Chains A and B, each alone.
Chain A
């Protein structure tokens, strides 16, 4: 599975790592929904570190679509909220 961190690049992540990343992802989502800025920063940081450590950098010269996309390290909770709800493409 290829996961892209916006502004950083793509990582090949094995399926074994997914359950753990899912947990971290759920924490980020909970923080976004709760509007908890500190928890969000911590959870997003942990998720990105999780992807970087579990994954191997995807070769830059190969053209593959990412299976999953993550916001950048310095994304704010507002930016992520806007990303999710701004266009109204995906409800709630």
Chain B
């Protein structure tokens, strides 16, 4: 089938070209989503790290506070025992610890602020990734639908180029119909004017013959009517009446009068 096969091959390769022209956006979308997930997990790790540091600082502060209380206690005991020098030493150490605690508390506050910011960023990013995922799926579905539509069009019409042919075929059919209608109209006119004989009429001939034909059929009707009025067949009339009653009631009154 060389010629047919060649034409088919050309059409098919054109169709595939049309489909392949754009790279598959679904893969790009999936890749982008993967990148966003990676970023999100990095932010999550960051949040966890900061939280761990914050907890460690909290523990240190607790320990230092215990030490502070202990030194205070020791200073009081030393005073009670009259050892002012020991009390002084304890209070000096305590003041160092207090300074450390202040530093650590400032650090803690800073870490806490950072953690809150990161948590907020993580939530925002998560929401973004979620919405991207939804949009990605929508886009992918749309693309799949569009691709399917392309394939349907391709299958329906061969290929885009052929749509033109289909349009032409429809145009040709319409032209032909219009032409036939015009011809039928012209023939009707010619028959009506008597210039053309109506071959479908039983008693085809000239216009005089048609006139006579019409008259004779009219007189036939009159004769039939007169026969019925004469009431030669009352039962048949009754039966006929019933039929007419159902179908055309106004004709019944005409017949009775």
- Which residues does A use to contact B, with CB under 8 Å? 3-4, 6-8, 18, 21-22, 25-26, 28-29, 32, 63-72, 80, 83-84, 87, 89-90
**CB contact list, B154-209 vs A, under 8 A:** 154-156, 158, 162, 165-166, 168-169
Chain A residue at smallest Cβ distance from B10: A89
Cβ contact of B156, chosen from A18, A25, A63, A83, cutoff 8 A? A63
Assess the A4–B10 pair: CB atoms within 8 A.
no
**In the bound complex, what is the Cα–Cα distance between A90 and B4 (angstroms)?**
13
Cβ contact within 8 Å between B7 and A89? no
- Are B7 and A25 touching (Cβ within 8 A)? no
Contact A71–B7 (Cβ < 8 Å): yes
B221 interfacial contact with A, CB 8 Å: no
B10 & A63 in contact (Cβ 8 Å cutoff):
no
Would A68 and B2 count as touching, CB distance under 8 A? no
Least CB separation from A2: chain B residue: B155
Q: Is the CB of A70 within 8 A of B4?
A: yes
Contacts of A26 in B (CB 8 A): 2-3
Residues in chain B near residue A21, CB distance under 8 A: 1, 4
15 contacts between A and B (CB under 8 A): A3-B4, A4-B158, A21-B4, A25-B1, A26-B2, A26-B3, A29-B3, A65-B154, A69-B7, A70-B4, A70-B7, A72-B169, A84-B7, A87-B14, A90-B9
Q: Does more than half of chain A's interface fall in helix, strand or loop, or is it mixed? A: mixed
What separation, in Å, do the CA atoms of A80 and B212 have in the docked complex? 62
Interface size class of chain B, counting residues whose CB lies under 8 Å from the partner chain: 20 to 34
**CB distance A28 to B152 under 8 Å?**
no
Chain B residues 1 to 54 lying within 8 A of chain A, measured CB to CB, are: 1-14
Q: For residue A67, which residues in chain B have a CB less than 8 angstroms away from its CB?
A: 8
> Which residues on B are within 8 Å of A, measured CB to CB?
1-14, 152, 154-156, 158, 162, 165-166, 168-169
Which residues on the B side are within 8 Å of A69 (C-beta)? 4, 7-8, 11, 158
Find chain A residues with CB under 8 A from B7 CB. 68-71, 80, 83-84
A64 CB → nearest B CB, Å: 6
Closest 9 CB pairs of A and B: A7-B165, A68-B4, A29-B3, A7-B169, A63-B155, A69-B8, A68-B8, A6-B165, A69-B7
CB neighbours of A70 from chain B (8 A): 4, 7
| Known A63-B152, A65-B155; contact A90-B168, beta-carbon cutoff 8 A | no
Tell me if B5 and A68 are in contact (CB < 8 A): yes
- Greatest chain A CB density within 10 A among B6, B152, B156 is at B6
With A89-B13, A90-B9, A90-B10 known as contacts, the answer to whether A8 contacts B1 (CB < 8 A) is no
Please give the distance in Å from B169's CB to the nearest CB on chain A: 4
Q: How far is the CA of A18 from the CA of B1 in the complex (A)?
A: 8
Q: A6-B165, A7-B169 are in contact. Are A68 and B1 (CB under 8 A)?
A: yes
A75 to chain B, nearest CB (A): 10
Chain B residues within 8 Å of A65, by CB: 12, 154-155
Q: Which residues of B contact A18 (CB under 8 A)?
A: 1
For the A-B complex with A32-B3, A68-B8, A69-B11 known, give 20 more contacts whose Cβ atoms are closer than 8 Å. A4-B158, A22-B1, A26-B2, A26-B3, A29-B2, A63-B155, A64-B155, A65-B154, A69-B8, A70-B4, A72-B169, A84-B6, A84-B7, A84-B10, A87-B10, A87-B14, A89-B13, A89-B14, A90-B9, A90-B10
